[in-house]
Amino acid sequence: SSPEKAPGPAPPAGGGEAAEHRALVLTGFGGYEKVKVQARRGGGPRPGEVSVRVRACGLNFADLMARQGLYDRLPPPPVCPGMECAGTVRALGDGVRDRQVGDKVMVLARSGLWQEVVNVPASQTFLMPEGMSFEEAAALLVNYITAYMILFDFGNLRPNQSVLIHMAAGGVGTAAIQLCKTVENVTIFGTASASKHDSLKESGVAYPIDYRTMDYAEEVRKISPKGVDIVLDPLGGSDTSKAFNLLKPMGKLITYGVANLLTGQKKNLMAMAKTWWNQFSINALQLLHHNKAVCGYHLGYMDEEFELVGGVVAKLVNLYSQGKIKPKIDSVWPFDQVADAMRQMQEKKNVGKVILVPEAPKEESKKEEN
**Segment 325-341, tens digit of pLDDT:** 999 999 999 999 999 99
| pLDDT of 11 above 50 | no
Look at residue 263 in the predicted model and tell me its pLDDT.
Answer: 83
Give the C-alpha distances (Å, rounded to integers) separating 262 from 99, 103, 335, 348.
Answer: 39, 38, 23, 11
Q: Which residues of 153-178 are buried (b: 16+ CB within 10 A; e: fewer)?
A: ebbebeeebbbbbbbbbbbbbbbbbb
Q: Structurally, what CATH architecture does the domain formed by 143-301 represent?
A: 3-Layer(aba) Sandwich (3.40)
| pLDDT of 20 above 70 | yes
Which residues, in sequence order, are bridge partners of residue 319? none
Look at residue 362 in the predicted model and tell me its pLDDT.
Answer: 61
Q: Which helix (H) or strand (E) holds 261?
A: none
Averaged pLDDT, 285-312: 95
| Nearest CA-CA partner of 188 in 147, 160, 156, 218 | 160
User: Boundaries of CATH 3.90.180.10 in the chain?
Assistant: 21-139+327-357
Please give the Cα distance from 33 to 302 (Å, whole number).
30
| pLDDT of 7 above 90 | no
Please give the Cα distance from 85 to 139 (Å, whole number).
8
| Nearest CA-CA partner of 23 in 85, 71, 80 | 80
Average pLDDT in the chain = 92
Give the C-alpha distances (Å, rounded to integers) separating 207 from 73, 183, 283.
Answer: 35, 17, 32
| pLDDT of 1 above 60 | no
Count other Cβ atoms within 10 Å, centred on residue 127. 16
Look at residue 47 in the predicted model and tell me its pLDDT.
Answer: 98
State the pLDDT confidence band at 262, using cuts at 50, 70 and 90. Answer: confident
User: Boundaries of CATH 3.40.50.720 in the chain?
Assistant: 143-301
Averaged pLDDT, 53-72: 95
Averaged pLDDT, 297-319: 96
| pLDDT of 361 above 80 | no
Contacts of 23 (CB under 8 A, 6+ apart): 37, 38, 39, 40, 80, 114, 115, 116
pLDDT in tens, 175-207: 999 999 999 999 999 999 999 999 999 999 999
Q: Which residue has the higher pLDDT, 356 or 4?
A: 356
pLDDT in tens, 146-172: 999 999 999 999 999 999 999 999 999
Say if CB 105 and CB 86 are below 8 A apart: yes
Say if CB 259 and CB 347 are below 8 A apart: no
The C-alpha angle 307, 308, 309, rounded to 5 degrees, equals: 95
Q: What's the burial of 363, exposed, middle or buried (CB within 10 Å: 0-12/13-18/19+)? A: exposed
State the pLDDT confidence band at 269, using cuts at 50, 70 and 90. Answer: confident
Please give the Cα distance from 306 to 345 (Å, whole number).
29
Please give the Cα distance from 109 to 60 (Å, whole number).
13
Averaged pLDDT, 18-41: 94
- What fold, for 21-139+327-357? Quinone Oxidoreductase; Chain A, domain 1 (3.90.180)
Please give the Cα distance from 357 to 27 (Å, whole number).
20
